[in-house]
Amino acid sequence: AMTDTGFKKGFLWGGATAANQLEGAFDVAGKGLSTADMIRFVPKEERNGYSMDVKADYIEGVLAGKIKDRFPKRTAIDFYHRYKEDMALFAEMGFKTLRISIHWARIFPNGDDQQPNEAGLKFYDDLFDEMLKYGIEPLVTLSHYETPLELTRKYNGWHNRKLIGFYTRYAETVFTRYKNKVKYWLTFNEINVITHSPYTGGGVLVENVPDKTFEQVAYQAAHHQFVASSLATKLAHEIIPGVQVGCMLARMTTYPVTNHPDDILLAQNHNDMNLFFTDVQVRGEYPKLMERYFEENDIVIEKKIGDDEIIKQYPVDFISFSYYMSISVTTQGEKESVLGNMVKNSVKNPHLETSDWGWQIDPKGLRYTLQDFHNRYGKPLFIVENGLGAHDKVEEDGSIHDPYRVDYLRQHIEQMKEAVKYGVDLLGYTAWGPIDLISVSTNEMSKRYGFIYVDQDDEGNGTLARSKKDSFYWYKKVIETNGDDL
Ligand code: BG6
């Protein structure tokens, strides 16, 4: 007999994706270019850490045909043409939900168009119908690292306040169109990433604002996204009965390496800077501590009258986040650093194993993160990304044995159970990349997260044929038993 796992009835098990990482078809049916279409593939040996940034000259060079690079996200795994086959596989695993994003540039090819592109709207209508046919609840991100490129070229992306208007027009368009099909919405994927990579997070080219510092530009852009997110939340509630709107944070839960009080405070500061984003989106106001931070770093946020009221009036309904690893920091001596340019001062935690990409695997950190979120905000939570990027090997008979992936996921789900028993209100769990797709941070195909394998290598060679890994059957069982049989 099945035991009560604590996961509620109707718990939303599923997978999470983003348009630019799986759709391909970058110039089909009226779609405009997006920021993601301009990120080229760089082989590992030549790559310096992560490759998420692009320069203005480069973009112009590509558009003028002077630069010929390969852009993996332009073709991705061709989900655009193969989604029926893929959806059948998700349904076979028993998915209750699928997180996708709408590629903004399919709907508004230039971002600032007056009228939406009907062919783009139609594509997502068909996609949602296909999900609903199987009883798969769509969970939709409005903006997932795929700002229309023209908004970068003409306005410098989210650094410009005008983006608020373009985004709310887009949000209103898709809310109205899909109001009978989509109940769960996320406004911005990993909204905090804009302060690490303004181009990826918001289509912002920092070098185009020469008189201002990186942080000044990034936090100003974040402010515009906060206002836009609140306005979208307001619109969603007006247009869609029973809608649930969430924020989405890349949660970087940070530990002190030692019990030196300076380490404790340093870790707290890292967590505060990360949770600043949810503080604004959930509590509806900038936390006091940011005033000091802005002052000490010469950051002045330009706000319009009414911005604070908008942020206060329309907070999110639930909190969603990605969780892949924990971070450790210290003030005490030199330690081996990890994660390169992605997280400042991050050092190796000797108690944890790392993935092939140096991400420190920490299932208990997920439990701590859930409990901490719960204590801080008391709101429903949704884990909308978690998973292991790994190299997979296809055996001669075509099978793919991925016990490492199953281990990773099992251990995280076990800790979710503990958190639920602690009192966390958990809405669902969507594993990142249920089908192999293009990596954000490295543009690789070989960094695979999927239950479903896609035949394609880093150079773009392969048939794109789909096949089931061992983890496919495992996850199916997990969903069937509502997390009992791990
Ligand atoms: C998150 C993003 O940062 O992590 C996803 O929201 C991304 O888009 C995922 O793919 C995993 O990162 P990566 O670099 O392994 O693709």
Q: Is 441 in the pocket of ligand 1 (CB under 6 A)?
A: yes
pTM: 0.97
157 burial level (CB within 10 Å; 0-12, 13-18, 19+)? buried
- Each domain of the chain, given as residue ranges in start order, spans 12-480
Please tell me the predicted confidence (pLDDT) of residue 339.
66
Q: Is 448 in the pocket of ligand 1 (CB under 6 A)?
A: no
Show contacts of 476-479: CB within 8 Å, 24+ apart. 476/92, 476/93, 476/94, 478/13, 478/409, 478/413, 479/13, 479/93, 479/94, 479/95, 479/96
Structure tokens at 440: 């954000």
Reported as a pLDDT band with limits 50, 70 and 90, residue 45 is confident
Enter the ipTM. Answer: 0.98
Q: How far is the CA of 190 from the centre of ligand 1 (A)?
A: 9
Q: How far is the CA of 303 from the centre of ligand 1 (A)?
A: 31
pLDDT in tens, 55-72: 999 999 999 999 989 999
Calculate the average pLDDT of the chain.
96
Dihedral through CA 341, CA 343, CA 346, CA 349, nearest 10?
A: -110
Q: What average pLDDT does range 443-465 have in this prediction?
A: 97
pLDDT in tens, 69-91: 999 999 999 999 999 999 999 99
Q: Is 385 in the pocket of ligand 1 (CB under 6 A)?
A: yes
Pocket test residue of 41, 440, 445 for ligand 1, highest count of atoms within 8 A of CB: 440
Please tell me the predicted confidence (pLDDT) of residue 340.
59
Residue 47 has pLDDT above 90, yes or no: no
Hey, whose CA ends up nearest to atom 15 of ligand 1?
439
Reported as a pLDDT band with limits 50, 70 and 90, residue 49 is low
State the closest ligand 1 atom to the C-alpha of 439, by its place in the atom list counted from 1: 16
Q: How far is the CA of 82 from the centre of ligand 1 (A)?
A: 22
Catalytic residue numbers? 385
Please tell me the predicted confidence (pLDDT) of residue 1.
66
Of the options 3.40.50.300, 3.30.420.40, 3.20.20.80, 3.40.50.360, the CATH number for the domain spanning 12-480: 3.20.20.80
Please tell me the predicted confidence (pLDDT) of residue 46.
84
Residue 48 has pLDDT above 90, yes or no: no
Dihedral through CA 309, CA 314, CA 319, CA 320, nearest 10?
A: -100
Q: Is 190 in the pocket of ligand 1 (CB under 6 A)?
A: yes
Question: Hey, what amino acid is at 203?
Answer: G
What does residue 185 show for φ and ψ, rounded to 5 degrees? -130, 145
Pocket test residue of 21, 432, 446 for ligand 1, highest count of atoms within 8 A of CB: 432
pLDDT in tens, 219-260: 999 999 999 999 999 999 999 999 999 999 999 999 999 999
Q: How far is the CA of 53 from the centre of ligand 1 (A)?
A: 15
Q: What average pLDDT does range 182-199 have in this prediction?
A: 97
Residue 402 has pLDDT above 90, yes or no: yes
Residue 2 has pLDDT above 80, yes or no: no
pLDDT in tens, 280-336: 999 999 999 999 999 999 999 999 999 999 999 999 999 999 999 999 999 987 777
Please tell me the predicted confidence (pLDDT) of residue 53.
79
Q: Is 97 in the pocket of ligand 1 (CB under 6 A)?
A: no
Residue 341 has pLDDT above 60, yes or no: no
More confident residue, 68 or 176: 176
Residue 200 has pLDDT above 60, yes or no: yes
Reported as a pLDDT band with limits 50, 70 and 90, residue 51 is low
Hey, whose CA ends up nearest to atom 16 of ligand 1?
439
Q: What average pLDDT does range 210-220 have in this prediction?
A: 96
Question: Hey, what amino acid is at 127?
Answer: L
Please tell me the predicted confidence (pLDDT) of residue 342.
64
Q: Is 439 in the pocket of ligand 1 (CB under 6 A)?
A: yes
Reported as a pLDDT band with limits 50, 70 and 90, residue 386 is very high
